Structure 1
Amino acid sequence: MSSTRDLEIVLLGATGYTGRLCAEHIVKSLPTNLAWGIAGRSLGKLEALATKLQEHDKDRKAPEQLVLQFNEKELTALACKTKVLINCVGPYRKYSTPVVKACAENGTHYVDVTGEAPWVKDMVNKFHETAKSTGAILISANGIESAPADLLTYVMAKSIKDQFDVVTDETTMSLYHIKGKFSGGTLSTILDFFNNLESSSSDPYCISLSKPAQPRSVSIFRRIFGVHYVPDIGVGTTCVCEPCDTSIVHRTSSMMPQLFSPNFRFWESMKTRNIFTGIAVHFTLISVAIVLLFSPVRWLLPRYIYAPGEGAPEESKAGFSIEYRGVATAKQDKPGKKDIRVLGSFRYDGCPYTLTGIFLAEAAMVLARSNRVGQEIKAGYLTPASLEDEYIEKLENAGAHFKTTVLEQ
């Protein structure tokens, strides 16, 4: 990567809902000597955001404001200007393939918060080898999808390795609790997904470097009704985050053979009170999906939801929070030894979209300044957990909480 780049971090799509929250975290929490910029199509919106950011820290130098259109020439120029590009422009399938291409081809580190699993698969297939050749590190799904599940799986597996010197064979993850509201960008992405169903993929190992010898098997009861029981966590049901989280975690496990078995399996569900509510949630989600298959519904919905770039106002966020819990299991080869089981949790007390902004900013700081980048952290299409303990520490300093406990054997 060229040492003549003017900026360390550029935030693209800074005037959108998630982009603004990310920018606020940068101003409030990242080093004051950070050389950074905000980028988008509208100079007026960028100037208004820069003025608003000054209210948080009047002594900090205002970010450079970069106006561009989404064409190859301007995106290439933007990528060559910075070490790291944070991309908040979604739906990603619709707008952001040229952004990833510009970063991959020009050795610029990249991070986004997409939950669009088919698009991530497409980007990995197209740009992983290119990024390896230029030195770029590309990380997608570094938001609510799929950073909590990926990072907690990593933390539990590392705990097992550190304490017992064995690798993890399986993780069962639960979106244990969430309180918040969708933003307009998220809802727009959901609608875009249903406009392009032909690009979807259900293979849980679609972006893994390798696959287990035996495929995962799901019980008929769970396939039909969506529920199952997770020891030490409770009843789980269908989780909308599961497709993207599963593919990201399996990519992580395939890149970390020192922590995970070659036959590692990841499962995810959403915590529910009992089997009956779990079945109700499962069929409600199916019903919603069926309704969204009808194009008139997708045409009508945007008139009644937040527009892209909008989200819950600050005064309505009191009590927002998110928590994941998981159980990681490792088998022991010695006769008579029970499986090792570790219970892990991830919690953040606050708006999930604020947390997404934190995920983005802190990952970008690791990529911009860590001595491990290019050494232990190799180039290519990686995952949030690829940033390992340095990233975990930054997130904990920003208010996230990770915890692990060895369960009785």
Structure 2
Amino acid sequence: MSDQEREFDMVVYGASGFVGALVARHLTGHAPEGTRIALAGRDTAKLERLGLNLPIVVADANDEEALTTMAGRTRVMVTTVGPYAKYGTPLARACAATGTDYVDLTGEVLFARDSIDENHETARRTGARIIHSCGFDSIPSDIGVHVLHAQVAADGEGELTDTTLVVASMRGGVSGGTIDSMRHQVDVMKKDTRLRRVGASPYSLSPDRESEPDLGRQPDMLSMPGSDVDTSIRGHLAPFVMASYNTRVVRRSNALRGWAYGRRFRYREVLRVKSRFAATTVKTALSGLVIGFAVPPLRFVLDRVLPAPGAGPSEEVQRSGHFTMDIFTTTTSGARYRARFKAKGDPGYAATAVMLGEAALALVHDRDRLPDLGGGVLTPATGIGDALVDRLRAAGLEITAQRI
């Protein structure tokens, strides 16, 4: 079926949820005139209450026939329904089979690995671009490194070597959906040693682990003085909660592009804090969160105090949120570069809605500018690339790269 024969340009699945509604509203306010958008979920009444006056498609996350029919009606599927390992597998499979482009918000390494194994070859055959992680996880990381590499290449300064993303500042709420995804992954890995090994491998999302360079350990739970990364960084560096996922997405991008970033490319992510004590506190808290989900009595307490899926902050809190990420690298020529990815709005809600929405719009309206990898289970950098960079800049996000 050609794009012209499909009823919709994009379907927003999960539009009645908190983040789904934000994405739907961003699209209705920013999509070019004539873009055919539909809302989808399992409850017609909830979708109608959004008041967006768009067509409605009803499909349950466990009804594969309904999901396949829905996928065949649209050019692009936008889904915010997670945890994805629990609810997302049938929809990703349906999109791969029907040649429908797909974007989501997953930060779940096991789901992404399963999707690669199940859908990559099918999507290559049908031409579907299955692009996971098109929100705060992992567009700033993946697109930031993409832009950094492009500037280094344009300047003729070789390839990237040691590269570090530093979350320089961030303000926003904790996503209940992210918490639920973490909770679900802990449950799964607790029961299966093999899955724990998959989750721990720095190349767990790579196309071919045996082809990856042997660069030694690339740990995620890092703590160090800021000056160890760059003399401009004040304070200390602590573990960043999404490093264990984002780093694997970026490494997959490098491999899918034939290691264009470099065979000596090492990548890590950290959070800037004021002191060594603060860094230790962050590290202890993150370790404690994982342990807490695995121990029933502690889990009971965490479930009562952490935000629930589907909930989110007020509009005022969303507007006051922001984040700035700086990515530092040394090239094979010895040059130093920095990329910056900066956005207003709560990272996991307002900013994520913009990033996911613009990723979908690029797939619909910028087909002639997409990377030439074709179909497959791709990443934001390898599936959308510069078309997404331009759309995000036009939406007000700061994305730059320069020699320092």
Please report the TM-score for the alignment, with normalisation by the length of structure 1.
0.89
> Which range moved further: 132-141 or 199-208?
199-208
Q: Are residue 149 (structure 1) and residue 150 (structure 2) matched? A: no
Q: Are residue 254 (structure 1) and residue 245 (structure 2) matched? A: no
Following the alignment from structure 2 to structure 1, what is the Cα–Cα distance between the partners of residues 403 and 15? 42
Q: Which residue of 2 aligns with 1:340?
A: 335
CA deviation profile, 1:180-220 (whole Å, cap 9, x unmatched):
1113222222222222223341111122235443233359x
In structure 2, do the counterparts of structure 1 residues 258 and 97 end up closer, same or farther at CA, with 3 Å as the change threshold?
A: closer
In structure 2, do the counterparts of structure 1 residues 300 and 2 end up closer, same or farther at CA, with 3 Å as the change threshold?
A: farther
* SS state at 1:267 partner: strand
Q: Are residue 391 (structure 1) and residue 388 (structure 2) matched? A: yes
CA deviation profile, 1:129-172 (whole Å, cap 9, x unmatched):
11001110001111111110111111111000011252223321
In structure 2, do the counterparts of structure 1 residues 190 and 295 end up closer, same or farther at CA, with 3 Å as the change threshold?
A: same
In structure 2, do the counterparts of structure 1 residues 165 and 316 end up closer, same or farther at CA, with 3 Å as the change threshold?
A: closer
Q: Which residue of 1 aligns with 2:224?
A: 227
* SS state at 1:69 partner: coil
Contact 2:167 2:270 in 1 (8 A): yes
Q: Which residue of 2 aligns with 1:360?
A: 356
Aligned alpha-carbon RMSD (Å) = 2.0
Contact 1:17 1:183 in 2 (8 A): no
Contact 1:226 1:237 in 2 (8 A): yes
Q: Are residue 76 (structure 1) and residue 76 (structure 2) matched? A: no
The one-letter code matched in structure 1 to 2:185 is F
Counterpart pick for 1:114 among 93, 101, 106: 106
Contact 1:13 1:40 in 2 (8 A): yes
Following the alignment from structure 1 to structure 2, what is the Cα–Cα distance between the partners of residues 89 and 78? 15
Contact 2:40 2:59 in 1 (8 A): yes
Q: Which residue of 1 aligns with 2:213?
A: 213
Percent pairwise identity: 29
Following the alignment from structure 2 to structure 1, what is the Cα–Cα distance between the partners of residues 169 and 151? 23
Q: Which residue of 1 aligns with 2:324?
A: 323
Q: Which residue of 2 aligns with 1:188?
A: 180
Following the alignment from structure 1 to structure 2, what is the Cα–Cα distance between the partners of residues 45 and 188? 22
Following the alignment from structure 2 to structure 1, what is the Cα–Cα distance between the partners of residues 161 and 308? 43
In structure 2, do the counterparts of structure 1 residues 350 and 226 end up closer, same or farther at CA, with 3 Å as the change threshold?
A: same
Contact 1:86 1:364 in 2 (8 A): yes
Post-superposition shift, 1:286? 1.5
Contact 1:135 1:374 in 2 (8 A): no
* SS state at 1:123 partner: helix
The one-letter code matched in structure 2 to 1:345 is R
Following the alignment from structure 2 to structure 1, what is the Cα–Cα distance between the partners of residues 138 and 12? 20
The one-letter code matched in structure 1 to 2:317 is S
Post-superposition shift, 1:274? 2.6
In structure 2, do the counterparts of structure 1 residues 270 and 191 end up closer, same or farther at CA, with 3 Å as the change threshold?
A: same
Post-superposition shift, 1:350? 1.4
Residues 157-172 of structure 1 mapped to structure 2, 5 A cutoff: 157-164=149-156, 166-172=158-164
CA deviation profile, 1:81-133 (whole Å, cap 9, x unmatched):
00000010001111110010000111010000111112111111111111001
Q: Which residue of 1 aligns with 2:94?
A: 102
Contact 1:166 1:259 in 2 (8 A): no
CA deviation profile, 1:296-333 (whole Å, cap 9, x unmatched):
4434544444432210011333531111111122112x
The one-letter code matched in structure 2 to 1:279 is T
Contact 1:254 1:262 in 2 (8 A): no
CA deviation profile, 1:235-280 (whole Å, cap 9, x unmatched):
3211111111011000111122474112322111111223232122
Contact 1:153 1:328 in 2 (8 A): no
Q: Which residue of 1 aligns with 2:202?
A: 204
Q: Which residue of 2 aligns with 1:65?
A: 56
> Which range moved further: 297-306 or 174-183?
297-306
Contact 1:327 1:342 in 2 (8 A): yes
Counting matched residue pairs gives 388
The one-letter code matched in structure 2 to 1:119 is F
Please report the TM-score for the alignment, with normalisation by the length of structure 2.
0.90
Q: Which residue of 1 aligns with 2:127?
A: 135
The one-letter code matched in structure 2 to 1:350 is G
* SS state at 2:206 partner: coil
Residues 31-46 of structure 1 mapped to structure 2, 5 A cutoff: 31-46=32-47
The one-letter code matched in structure 2 to 1:384 is P
Post-superposition shift, 1:374? 7.5
Following the alignment from structure 1 to structure 2, what is the Cα–Cα distance between the partners of residues 149 and 372? 24
- Any gaps of 5 or more consecutive residues in structure 1? 54-61, 333-338
Contact 2:322 2:343 in 1 (8 A): yes
Contact 1:227 1:238 in 2 (8 A): no
Q: Which residue of 1 aligns with 2:115?
A: 123
* SS state at 1:89 partner: coil
Q: Are residue 404 (structure 1) and residue 373 (structure 2) matched? A: no
Following the alignment from structure 1 to structure 2, what is the Cα–Cα distance between the partners of residues 191 and 345? 31
In structure 2, do the counterparts of structure 1 residues 193 and 382 end up closer, same or farther at CA, with 3 Å as the change threshold?
A: same
Following the alignment from structure 2 to structure 1, what is the Cα–Cα distance between the partners of residues 346 and 102? 24
In structure 2, do the counterparts of structure 1 residues 309 and 47 end up closer, same or farther at CA, with 3 Å as the change threshold?
A: same
Counterpart pick for 1:372 among 368, 372, 375: 368
* SS state at 1:23 partner: helix
Contact 1:226 1:279 in 2 (8 A): yes
Following the alignment from structure 1 to structure 2, what is the Cα–Cα distance between the partners of residues 76 and 28? 28
Q: Which residue of 2 aligns with 1:92?
A: 84
> Which range moved further: 192-201 or 15-24?
192-201
